[in-house]
Structure 1
Amino acid sequence: MTWRLLAAPRADPAPGHARVVAAVHGLADNGTTWQDLAALLGAGYRWYTVDAPWSGDPGRSLTDGARPAEWLRQALADLPEPVDILVGHSFGANAVLDHLATRPAPEVRAAVLLAPLVRPAEQAPHPVLVARTRAAIRQVVADGLRARLGPRAAHVADDVLAAMVDKAVARVPDGATELVLDRLLATPRPALGQVNTPALVLAGRGDQRLAGVRANSLTVMPAVEVSIHPHYGHFCHITEAAEVAAECAEFLDRVVPAPSPTGPTLEVVA
């Protein structure tokens, strides 16, 4: 598994003078999804990104691979330095949740979960929910394509855009739908009540397919802060990047203060 170091917007901080981030993307996405958020948070962070097994890379399959938490645990072991902050989007956020629920050692200092896939405890996994989830997966892939196009999407002919969506959906790895359903139907679960890692959950009322207001059910985590916005969609880290970056910065400055540029200060006793 190969991690990539995102280029810092300014001079890369020296080792020991940056908060180290490992970022995990969602279904049929890749590590480039973090470029805007990383740039907005600034050079005080060092970002590692990876193309997970559920990326849209040709030939990817999830039918015989490790579970998301197992994969993430192995991938983190390959990083060249300890991680301070885990960031995950959509299915990647669920991989982070599952990883934290195993109470790994060493533990990260904080987590940011963007639009995690959540089923409230009172919503039984009936066939209608399963059918809606399957349809939602296709729509989320389409939303991701539109988010990346940004204003250009308005100038793309409908038939061309539909063909682009079909092509993007075709890149969803084998076994992905079943794995997403498995993790969606498993939340919330008792193990999350033991996760003491400070975590920020960001979701939006505009994301009614897989996340949205259902993210409130993650308040079972003792050190979680859940923030739901009326205008955030599933890809808020792209479409509302500046706002997401501001929320992340405020949270991380509180729970993972930036290292001193000059090292620890010695107290002089007269």
Structure 2
Amino acid sequence: MDGIPAERVTDAVPAEHGTGGVPVRLRRAARATDRRPVRVLMLHGLAGSTAVWRRFTELAADELELWEAELPWAADGDTRWSHEPDPVALVAQALAGVPDGVDLLIAHSFAANAALELLAGRPAPRPGAAVLVSPFHRRSPEHFDWDTATYYLGGFQRIIDEGLRIGSDGRLPTELRAAMALRVRDRIGPYGWMRFFDAYLRSPFLDTAAIGLPALVVTGEHDFAAPPDDARALAGALPDARLRVFEESGHFPMAEQPELFAEIVSSFLPALHSSYVPEST
């Protein structure tokens, strides 16, 4: 609901899932005409929306062709997605829906975890590289305890509230924002929350060595949802990764510091070009 009209929409081939295929939309065509566009697919997190990419879309490098997925785990999505135990198939559907394939996948929060599981060995179209924003990752199952579960169960509404605050540029009154966050939390429901926590609990068992593509891991120093140490642990475990910590951001660095986010994505492109994107002729 960001007011930017869809320029092109294509539906991925439906997988064996009750909600059908995941639509993808061309958010912005590449502005550069002297070289091959870099096709980018952006995936928002749980209880979020495609609006989280608005400022990045305005500032992104000219060579980027920006696509966004209408994921069912959005704040106003079809909640039946959470009744199935494996959300990873939805990421595969989104990747399959981008014509001619995805060069760069940018995934935030819960979507980053789902994308990592896909890249670790599931049969699906693969991007050339990935930017993983505010991922949830623990090195060992011993790093989870009952206090961890209590924190995330009790803090789910707070994370949603923070997203509403950032998305509205602080314009929503506190009481209204809290009421909206409660409604979104109740809409996502226990099943949606469990899909998130399931993915988090599986993160220590992720076969990171199998993710053989360049990755950029981005985190905010003040992220109370996905702690910066999670991002540091993930970047250290991936075979080809670099880490960027935004010192003035929380869980939504692409919206809190969009200029810096656009800059670091642009600086990551040479790694993508050298390994995956053919030179223009």
Q: Please, what TM-score do these two structures have when normalized by structure 1?
A: 0.86
Deviation at 1:216, TM superposition (A): 1.1
Please list, as runs of the form range in 1=range in 2, the aligned pairs for 1:169-208 lying within 5 A after superposition.
169-172=185-188, 175-208=191-224
Deviation at 1:21, TM superposition (A): 0.7
Q: Which has the larger radius of gyration?
A: 1
Which residue of 1 is the match for residue 151 of structure 2?
Answer: 132
- CA separation in 2, counterparts of 1:66 and 1:85? 27
Which residue of 2 is the match for residue 5 of structure 1?
Answer: 26
Kindly tell me: are residues 164 and 21 of structure 1, through their superposed partners in 2, closer, same or farther at Cα, counting changes over 3 Å? same
Which residue of 2 is the match for residue 254 of structure 1?
Answer: 271
Deviation at 1:17, TM superposition (A): 1.7
Whether the aligned pair in 2 keeps the contact of 1:55 and 1:173 (CA below 8 Å) is no
1:229 matches 2:250 = no
Deviation at 1:64, TM superposition (A): 2.9
Which residue of 2 is the match for residue 20 of structure 1?
Answer: 39
1:211 maps to which of 227, 244, 248: 227
Whether the aligned pair in 2 keeps the contact of 1:24 and 1:52 (CA below 8 Å) is yes
Which residue of 2 is the match for residue 267 of structure 1?
Answer: none
Whether the aligned pair in 2 keeps the contact of 1:6 and 1:35 (CA below 8 Å) is no
Whether the aligned pair in 1 keeps the contact of 2:138 and 2:230 (CA below 8 Å) is yes
* Cα offsets for 1:31-65 (capped at 9, x unmatched): 22212112211331111111212111254233333
Which residue of 1 is the match for residue 100 of structure 2?
Answer: 81
Matched-pair identity in %: 26
Deviation at 1:151, TM superposition (A): 4.1
Query: Over aligned residues, Cα RMSD in angstroms?
Result: 2.3
Whether the aligned pair in 2 keeps the contact of 1:54 and 1:61 (CA below 8 Å) is no
1:212 partner letter? P
Kindly tell me: are residues 241 and 2 of structure 1, through their superposed partners in 2, closer, same or farther at Cα, counting changes over 3 Å? same
Q: Counterpart of 2:100 in 1: which secondary structure?
A: coil
- CA separation in 1, counterparts of 2:187 and 2:262? 29
2:272 partner letter? V
Query: Number of aligned pairs?
Result: 257
Please list, as runs of the form range in 1=range in 2, the aligned pairs for 1:112-191 lying within 5 A after superposition.
112-121=131-140, 123-153=142-172, 156=173, 158-172=174-188, 175-191=191-207
Deviates more, 1:51-60 or 1:107-116: 51-60
- CA separation in 2, counterparts of 1:21 and 1:35? 14
Whether the aligned pair in 2 keeps the contact of 1:28 and 1:56 (CA below 8 Å) is yes
Q: Counterpart of 1:83 in 2: which secondary structure?
A: coil
1:125 partner letter? F
2:192 partner letter? A
Which residue of 1 is the match for residue 259 of structure 2?
Answer: 242
2:252 partner letter? F
Deviation at 1:12, TM superposition (A): 7.2
2:87 partner letter? P
Q: Counterpart of 1:82 in 2: which secondary structure?
A: coil
Whether the aligned pair in 2 keeps the contact of 1:25 and 1:89 (CA below 8 Å) is yes
Which residue of 1 is the match for residue 58 of structure 2?
Answer: 39
Deviates more, 1:181-190 or 1:168-177: 168-177
* Cα offsets for 1:190-212 (capped at 9, x unmatched): 51122111000000220133232
Q: Counterpart of 1:129 in 2: which secondary structure?
A: helix
Whether the aligned pair in 2 keeps the contact of 1:62 and 1:174 (CA below 8 Å) is no
1:39 partner letter? E
2:185 partner letter? V
Kindly tell me: are residues 13 and 100 of structure 1, through their superposed partners in 2, closer, same or farther at Cα, counting changes over 3 Å? farther
Deviation at 1:121, TM superposition (A): 1.9
Structure 1 unaligned spans of 5+: 265-270
- CA separation in 2, counterparts of 1:183 and 1:249? 29
* Runs of 4+ residues over 6 Å off in structure 1: none
